[in-house]
Amino acid sequence: AQSVTQLDSQVPVFEEAPVELRCNYSSSVSVYLFWYVQYPNQGLQLLLKYLSGSTLVKGINGFEAEFNKSQTSFHLRKPSVHISDTAEYFCAVRANAGGTSYGKLTFGQGTILTVHP
Amino acid sequence: DVKVTQSSRYLVKRTGEKVFLECVQDMDHENMFWYRQDPGLGLRLIYFSYDVKMKEKGDIPEGYSVSREKKERFSLILESASTNQTSMYLCASRQDVSEAFFGQGTRLTVV
């Protein structure tokens, strides 16, 4: 079984400040990791993904995330946020080996990022 | 660009009605998924399908069924809608190890 915990349900921040959205996961096998963003009344859009290779992953809109296998974390960061980054962010994990979890994408509870002027 | 299209953005149905939510993808993806999204709970997997006529239960399949007669289309069926099925429903498709692509969502209200 696999699970994802997003440690903050809401993160308020001022414009141009840095932000970190935290994500921890648990899995008995190796995983792929994803961050998605959802703007109001829209579907989910991929921000970035970790499949293999470098543990620092860069995505769209200036976001990046670092895979830390020993701490089973995949925190999302942005050095300077904009008003337009206000949205809900979801961390997700999928097993990359065979078994009952193969193919299944498991999501965290979501973090609402609100950027204030 | 991959396109995943859900047939309705908003639906209002009465308790006990049979409800069909349709999803079509245009990229020949093998895998398709139905999730429901509720505040504070994130996305929870209802059913997924890895091939035509193949389906597997997700984490919360009770009260739902699915149909995949063609590769591009994956339907979610609420056999007898209840008020606790009021939610946002999201369809997704994926090929191999790539990321999942999502539709715009259907906000279903059962009254």
Can you give the residue range of the structural domain that contains B91? 4-110
Q: Do B102 and A45 touch (CB under 8 A)?
A: yes
pLDDT value of residue B96: 72
Domains of chain A by residue range? 2-116
**Could you give phi then psi for residue A7, rounded to 5 degrees?**
-75, -15
pLDDT value of residue A116: 97
Q: Do A32 and B105 touch (CB under 8 A)?
A: no
Task: Measure A17 CA to nearest chain B CA, in Å.
Answer: 25
* Cα–Cα dist A19/A41, whole Å: 23
Tokens of A17: 């400040």
* Cα–Cα dist A49/A34, whole Å: 4
The alpha-carbon radius of gyration of chain A (Å, integer) is 14
pLDDT value of residue B99: 84
Instruction: Give mean pLDDT, residues B71-88.
Output: 97
B98 has pLDDT over 90: no
Higher pLDDT, A40 or B82: B82
**Chain A residues whose beta carbon lies within 8 Å of the beta carbon of residue B48:** 103-104
Q: Shortest CB distance from B99 goes to which of A49, A96, A110? A: A49
> If pLDDT is split at 50, 70 and 90, which confidence band does B95 have?
confident
For strand A111-116 and strand A10-14, is the pairing parallel, antiparallel, or unpaired?
parallel
pLDDT value of residue A99: 54
Q: Do B90 and A104 touch (CB under 8 A)?
A: no
Q: Which residue in chain A is spatially nearest to B31 when comparing CA positions?
A: A103
B2 has pLDDT over 90: no
Query: What kind of fold does domain A2-116 have according to CATH?
Result: Immunoglobulin-like (2.60.40)
pLDDT value of residue A72: 94
Higher pLDDT, B81 or B96: B81
* DSSP-derived secondary structure for B35-85: EEEETTTEEEEEEEEEETTEEEE-S--TTEEEEEEETTEEEEEESS--GGG
CATH number of the domain bearing residue B16: 2.60.40.10
**Chain B residues whose beta carbon lies within 8 Å of the beta carbon of residue A34:** 99-100
Q: A46 at the B interface (CB within 8 A)?
A: yes
pLDDT value of residue A87: 97
Q: How many CB pairs under 8 A join A and B?
A: 51
Please choose, from the candidates B102, B73, B70, the residue with its C-alpha nearest in 3D space to the C-alpha of residue B89.
B102
Question: pLDDT tens digits for chain A (117 residues)?
Answer: 789 999 999 999 999 999 999 999 998 888 899 999 999 888 899 999 998 889 999 999 999 999 999 999 999 999 999 999 999 999 999 887 665 546 778 999 999 999 999
Q: Do A90 and B31 touch (CB under 8 A)?
A: no
What are B23-79's pLDDT values in tens digits? Answer: 999 989 989 999 999 988 999 999 999 889 899 999 999 999 999 999 999 999 999
Query: Domain count of chain B?
Result: 1
